[in-house]
Amino acid sequence: MKAMILAAGRGKRMGALTDHCPKPLLKVGGLSLIEHHIIALKTQGFNELVINVAYLGEQIKQQLGSGEKWGVSIDYSDEGQHALETGGGILNALSLLGPEPFLVVNADVWTDFPYASLRQKVPTSKMHLVLVGNPTHHPGGDFYLSADKLVAMGEKKFTYSGLGVFEPSVFKAKKPTAFPLAPVIRELILAGEVSGQLYSGVWVDVGTPERLAQLKASQ
């Protein structure tokens, strides 16, 4: 299974920290956020990676290169100056991701999730999402979960972790433009095509300078 790391966003909420440095290259414990993902993915058997880039994308390419340093191969999906958002970014990278289901990981999350456990998660659905408990900065959550399915209505919403496995067919009918992932997910939830799970381990959305500082302090 190939893995895609989403790394094209501007990271505006990071303020001055991302004026000259793309968010995926911000460091925690001496390594960039995206390096932590690469190491975790390699350790769990993901050797073929696709990384989308846009804002200051050349810096990411220069830092990571071909992936040889970590024993992986990295292909880049370059979106130019204007990022295509999550959905559009995945669609743009389909030719690199191939015909089989693939893992997607947001570069700006910090987690100890066992990626290898997701290899068998899409035999009967179009996508499988990992949800987490709602953090204080996102108390309303994103999606309802009932057993192992995401549903349109329920008792409580949980937060999408930024980790998921997707069938390429989910995106092939979409127009090649910038679009978010959430509406695609909701469309397939209504069709009963989204499985999911709740993860209670370590997970942090490293979206602000404050959360980055807290994460650094905890290491």
At 32-88, the pLDDT tens digits run: 999 999 999 999 999 999 999 999 999 999 999 999 999 999 999 999 989 999 999
Q: Within a 10 A sphere around the Cβ of 154, how many other Cβ atoms?
A: 13
Q: Which residues contact 136 (CB under 8 A, 6 or more apart)?
A: none
Are 145 and 198 in contact, with CB atoms under 8 Å apart? Answer: yes
Instruction: Calculate mean pLDDT across residues 126-144.
Output: 97
Phi, psi of 136 (to 5 degrees): -60, -30
Instruction: Find the mean pLDDT for residues 129-137.
Output: 97
pLDDT of res. 121: 83
Reading the block at residue 63, the tokens are 């830092």
Residue in the block written with tokens 């899409």? 122
Helices (H), 75-157: 85-92, 94-97
Domain ranges of the chain: 3-218
Query: What would the pLDDT profile of 158-167 be if each residue is shown by its tens digit?
Result: 999 999 999 9
d(CA 197, CA 129): 7
CATH of domain 3-218: 3.90.550.10
Q: What is the pLDDT of residue 123?
A: 75
pLDDT band at 94 (very low <50, low <70, confident <90, very high): very high
∠ Cα 86 90 91 (to 5°)? 115
User: Whole-model pTM?
Assistant: 0.96
Radius of gyration, alpha carbons of the chain: 16
List Cα–Cα distances, 49 to 4, 37, 114, in angstroms: 6, 11, 17
Rounded (5°) CA angle 124-125-126 = 140
Task: Let me know the angle formed at the C-alpha of 103 by 202 and 43, rounded to the nearest 5 degrees.
Answer: 60
Q: Find out whether 189 and 151 touch, Cβ atoms under 8 Å.
A: yes
Quote the percentage of the chain above a pLDDT of 90: 94
